[in-house]
Amino acid sequence: MAIEVRMPQLGLTMDEGQIARWMVAVGDKVRQGQPLAEIQTDKITAELESPGEGIIRHILVKEGDSCAVAGLVAVITAPGEDYSPAPAQEGPLPPRAARSTLATRMAEESPSAAGRHRASPNARRLARNQGINLDRIAAGSGAGGRIVGSDLKGASDTPPAKATPLARRVAAAAGVDLDRVPGSGKGGQITREDIERAQAASGPPPFEVIPLTGVRGVIAARMADSAHSAAAVTLTTEADATELAGLRDRLSTRDAEGAEARVPFDAILVKLVSAALRDHVNLNARLIENEIHVMKDVNIAVAVDTQRGLLSPVVKRADTKSILQIADELATLVGRARSGKSQPEDLEGGTFTITNLGMHEIDAFTPIINPPQCGVLGVGRICPRPVVTGDSLAIRQTVWLSLTFDHRMVDGAPAARFLQCVKRFVENPEEQLGPLGKAAV
Amino acid sequence: MSLISYSQAIRDALREEMRRDPTLILIGEDIGTHGGAFGVTRGLLAEFGQARVIDTPISEAAIAGAAVGASVAGLRPVAEIMYMDFITLAMDQIVNQAAKMRYMFGGKAHVPMVIRTPGGGAGRGNAAQHMQSLEAWFCHVPGLKVIMPSTPHDAKGLLKSAIRDDNPVIFIEHKLLYAIKGEVPETEYTIPIGSADIKRHGTDATVVATSRMVHHALQTAEALTADGISIEVVDPRTLVPLDIELICESVRRTHAAVVVHEAPRRGGYGAEIAAQIQSEAFDWLDAPVGRVCGADVPIPFARSLEAAAIPSPESIAAGVRDTLGR
């Protein structure tokens, strides 16, 4: 009895996965639970385990290619069992509207999608089964120009190059033959950059190409979405951080060898900001289509710089945890993010984001909102600065706080009051909130 | 095989079944001495006598009610309603009694009756009260089977099955089909209720047509071959139960479907067939299911308007072309 190996769903929002690497080949004997492949999703890498024992008979998705969740990626049979001919790769499942990812939403809204061809259910079924891109078919022969099944005849015999609509236009204008251009896009799709590279093909290109895929692609899509849709306003204020630094020193401990385990400022800030959000719930919100969702839990996303790009692991219900609990949790989350082993749930559910560039000697900056969240707090470096107290100058530890918020969801004055509250908590953390390190507040 | 008319095929079925089953009786207006308004029962009174071929007063409710009572009491009546238009007067007996009894008595009673009635007939100039196609009403009532044969062969084989069935069956004939002739086996045969028939094979579109429209569709198919369009004509033969498997098997090959009936389009049984096609064969369709039906008007008396009110081979061809975009 043949065993079908299908693309697993590794997170609620996962629609498709890429086979980053096959760890077995056709003909290999495999046992149940053995890793077969590395799967790359938008944010994480995971191993695809064998659902049973047998011989790998067919591999249907090439390394680097993507496949819809539940799509067939390989077939395992018993030794000697006949399983031929090779099954056609199954196409993506019908998309579930509720699960449309940001990237697909953007693709749907892009100008090239506006002129999408009409195609009959029969044509779509055939295209799905034969891996034909309906964009390739110039005009349908059905009623009103609808693409019908017979228009696909021949399309699968000599599959023409896959290319984005923009690349097609650029290629047509420049007279570049798409069949001679290697694609660097998703699934080998030819992009505009590929065409431009092909045009300048007389010598090696004067640049290195980094495809906008994986984490980079998600960041690009999210940041563009944020920049295009949010009505972002940034407020800044300088807070006295002397007490904060003192609190950090008191919470830090030394082990037997005298090595110091320092509680990171981020952990303290997560606590203070989550407490402030409890008092200013309008900032703990998301904008979903035409609704503002004021979130019941305070889940703080913390921006983390990793080799693969920016990731934002989330401390769930941070307002109910002590600083030391948050510090422990953050250490685990950041460790997983930096080693590329984040679990899907690590990165989901954030209601507000904190981003800290203090370690890079940045004083203040204008952070960008992580949609659909309402706000993000940028934290600069904490260092001694001259401060006017009364009629004299003093040297105090201070920090610049920058709050970017989405003016669609909340107005300037309430946002300012929230930032004021954060400033007050930063300046007198324990006076405002009690002994923060010890127990949940 | 012998070449006989549609009305003779029905008469032969009645005669053979009456010889076979002494409980079978006929009941209706003018079916005895006169031999029926369309001559279908001619000669049966002479052979079987007044006890089994019963002329009734002009009361459709009485005809249907007597048939229901006789069937519950152990006979196997075949009632004739002279024009389908007049069946409105028998609706309570058919809908509230015949269709319900077997269910409401938990199977202790059954109603093995057939109501034969000619529908349609636009082309005869009989106007709005004598030419209606009311099959959709009966298809909508659970507990009734609905049969609509288009050829002498199907009429004979299906009427025999209807008579032998232990449930009430509405057997809808067609006034303009009574005279057509077709090959009918000389030996005993029946056609199972619920089996459609492919009347002509084709590759480009499936035309699902009922009753007289089957013949129109066959003419359309012939005409369209000149333009290189190949039509498959499927005759459901029985509307309830519907052989959607065969219809969809055809649609999956041709990727297009056009439903044709003489009854008005709105609320017509074609809508049910189209809905079932799209739910069973959606992914094989190259176009929305087309419908070529009667106009949503009372059948006009004027010949020119009457002709415009029901599908013709030409309007079926236009419907097929619309669906195919050719």
Question: Where do the structural domains in chain A lie, given as residue ranges?
Answer: 3-77, 103-212, 230-433
Q: Taking residues A135-143, what's their average pLDDT?
A: 79
| pTM greater than the 0.90 cutoff | no
Estimate the crossing angle of helix A165-174 against helix A192-199, to 10 degrees.
Answer: 20
Helix or strand run (H / E) with residue A83: none
Does domain A3-77 sit in CATH 2.40.50.100?
A: yes
Q: How many inter-chain contacts (A to B, CB under 8 Å) are there?
A: 40
User: What pLDDT sits at residue B181?
Assistant: 97
Q: Which of the residue ranges A25-29, A71-75, A131-135, B235-239 would you say has the lowest mean pLDDT?
A: A131-135
**Per-residue pLDDT for A440 more than 50?**
no
Q: Look up the ipTM and state it.
A: 0.72
Higher pLDDT, B89 or A202: B89
User: What pLDDT sits at residue B182?
Assistant: 97
User: What pLDDT sits at residue A235?
Assistant: 96
Considering only residues 41 to 60 of chain A, which have any Cβ-Cβ distance to chain B shorter than 8 Å? none
**Distance in Å, alpha carbon of A53 to nearest chain B alpha carbon:** 35
Most trustworthy range by pLDDT among A59-68, A210-219, B160-169:
B160-169
Q: Taking residues B134-146, what's their average pLDDT?
A: 98
User: What pLDDT sits at residue A87?
Assistant: 56
**Distance in Å, alpha carbon of A52 to nearest chain B alpha carbon:** 32
User: What pLDDT sits at residue B110?
Assistant: 94
User: What counts of helices (H) and strands (E) characterise chain A?
Assistant: 11, 21
Burial of A42 (0-12, 13-18, 19+ CB in 10 A): buried
CB pair distance less than 8 Å for B287 and A124:
no
**Per-residue pLDDT for A246 more than 80?**
yes
C-alpha neighbours within 13 Å on the C-beta side of residue A280: 25
Instruction: Identify whether A328 is a catalytic site residue.
Output: no
User: What pLDDT sits at residue A96?
Assistant: 39
**Per-residue pLDDT for A101 more than 70?**
no
Average pLDDT, chain B: 96
Instruction: Identify whether A360 is a catalytic site residue.
Output: no
**Per-residue pLDDT for A428 more than 80?**
yes
Dump pLDDT digits (tens) for A401-425. 999 999 999 999 999 999 999 999 9
Burial of B50 (0-12, 13-18, 19+ CB in 10 A): exposed
Q: Which residue of B has its CA nearest to A128?
A: B283
Distance from C-alpha of A230 to C-alpha of A217, rounded to nearest angstrom:
19
**Per-residue pLDDT for B319 more than 60?**
yes
> Cα angle vertex B19, ends B16, B22, to 5°?
130
In the CATH hierarchy, which top-level class contains the domain B197-324? alpha beta
**Per-residue pLDDT for A14 more than 80?**
no
Let me know: does A43 contact A340? Beta carbons within 8 Å.
Answer: no
Dump pLDDT digits (tens) for A146-180. 888 888 876 655 455 677 778 888 877 777 777 77
Q: Taking residues B174-180, what's their average pLDDT?
A: 96
Kindly indicate the confidence band of residue A17, based on its pLDDT and cuts at 50, 70 and 90: confident
Let me know: does A274 contact A316? Beta carbons within 8 Å.
Answer: no
Dump pLDDT digits (tens) for A45-70. 888 888 888 889 888 888 888 888 88
User: What pLDDT sits at residue A68?
Assistant: 83
Active site residues of B: 130
Q: Greatest CA separation found in chain A?
A: 91
Domain locations along chain B: 2-184, 197-324
**Per-residue pLDDT for A112 more than 90?**
no
In percent, the amount of chain A with pLDDT more than 70 equals: 86
Higher pLDDT, A183 or A93: A183
- The arrangement of secondary structure in A230-433, i.e. its CATH architecture, is 2-Layer Sandwich (3.30)
User: What pLDDT sits at residue A406?
Assistant: 96
**Distance in Å, alpha carbon of A177 to nearest chain B alpha carbon:** 32
- The arrangement of secondary structure in B2-184, i.e. its CATH architecture, is 3-Layer(aba) Sandwich (3.40)
Nearest Cα neighbor of B268 from B135, B155, B168, B161 is: B135
